[in-house]
Structure 1
């Protein structure tokens, strides 16, 4: 929106991204390699038949981001860019164990199960959220994890809503424990 639509009625001062694949994801590359170009349309149709939207999948590859998206979407003068990454050390039963290991092997970088810390870096890097998965960042696992962890007497150390409010500058007490400044 900032560099391509260039809205005239909005004064954009900054953009903050969180675990955004600015340089694509090695896991997307891996999946496309495994599926093969011949089978991609069939996989898309299958995913769409159960309600998944597939339009952006091809845009998550490292080649697409490097060769197409980033060159066509330059940073704009006067806008400050900030970014955060996330890293996870998944357990054996984590939904992200396989994808995390693929990204670690192919990119040799910490990652949140879908996006590497290196791919997340854009503009002024504010730090890495440690022990946080990509689903934690969009608050999909926060409620269930909080309920289970609290019932077991464990402390929950990440709250996605508090993070976003803190970044937006709202004055609420927030705990962003595990943020490693880089």
Structure 2
């Protein structure tokens, strides 16, 4: 790395698969990424932007190798959050529209399939990353009721107006901007400059 005119004081991660994801192991292990059109299918739903190589880098074996080769930097404070939710019918079909429903029959598709796989292998998760894998450094907590795309404000989470949500029984989408602002204030108050 080139000499910088700044010092990194902290690194914050949110729903980051520090120890990989069994969902990525399945995608890589089944060679589904080699199926013609699969990348385009993922891109259609904006899953990994169709970058099937990203799935390989997020496997549990590759993240183990990455972590061994990339140790934490002394003097840098590492902070992390995880997310957990239980997919419902609308969550599953709509891929993260910001609605929480009682789990239904359709929850074995999309979010449901990866959620259940992760739940069996690692427990609480956001549909892509388990809480256990998200923990790194100082763990600041688990954001409940939020899936992997909602926590970053994926555009799908903003498409349903509140009157529709109220009518169909959903909850308001997660306010990712308020969360990031709250975390920035936390950093300003809790990370020392030296």
Give the TM-score category using the shorter length.
Answer: 0.7 to 0.9
Structure 1 residue 144 corresponds to structure 2 residue 136: no
Do the aligned partners of 1:142 and 1:160 also contact (CA within 8 Å) in 2?
A: no
The answer for the alignment partner of 1:174 in structure 2 is none
The corresponding residue for 1:57 is 55
CA contact (8 A) 2:21 2:129 kept: yes
TM-score (norm 1): 0.76
Change (3 A) 1:27 1:6: farther
In structure 2, the partner of 1:96 is 111
Conservation of the 8 A alpha-carbon contact between 2:21 and 2:59 = yes
Deviation for aligned residue 1:89: 0.8
| Runs of at least 4 residues off by over 4 Å | 48-51, 150-155
Unaligned runs of 5+ in 2: 44-48, 93-109, 187-194
Tell me by how many angstroms 1:150 deviates. Answer: 5.0
1:164 aligns with 2:161: no
CA distance, structure 2, for counterparts of residue 47 and residue 163 of structure 1: 32
Name the count of aligned residue pairs. 160
- The 1:78–1:6 alpha-carbon spacing in structure 2 relative to 1, beyond 3 Å, is farther
Q: Does 1:120 align with 2:117?
A: no
Q: CA deviation at 1:116?
A: 0.1
The alpha-carbon deviation at position 119 of structure 1 amounts to: 0.0
SS of residue matched to 1:9: coil
Residue-by-residue CA offset, 1:38-63 (whole Å, 9 max, x unaligned): x64x3487516966223322111001
For residue 121 of structure 2, the aligned residue among 87, 106, 110 is 106
Alpha-carbon distance change, 155 to 30 in structure 1, aligned in 2, over 3 angstroms? closer
2:76 aligns with 79
- Structure 1 or 2: larger helix share? 2
Unmatched 5+ residue regions in structure 1? 171-182
1:17 pairs with 13, 32, 37, which one?
13
Which residue of structure 2 lines up, in the alignment, with residue 70 of structure 1? 67
Deviations 1:65-122, CA, capped at 9 Å, x for gaps: 11x2001111111110100000011114514111100111122x10000000000000
Q: Measure, in 2, the Cα distance between the counterparts of 1:124 and 1:89.
A: 25
Query: Secondary structure at the residue paired with 1:128?
Result: strand
Distance (whole Å) between structure 1 residues aligned to residue 144 and residue 180 of structure 2: 16
Q: Residue 191 of structure 2 aligns with which residue? A: none
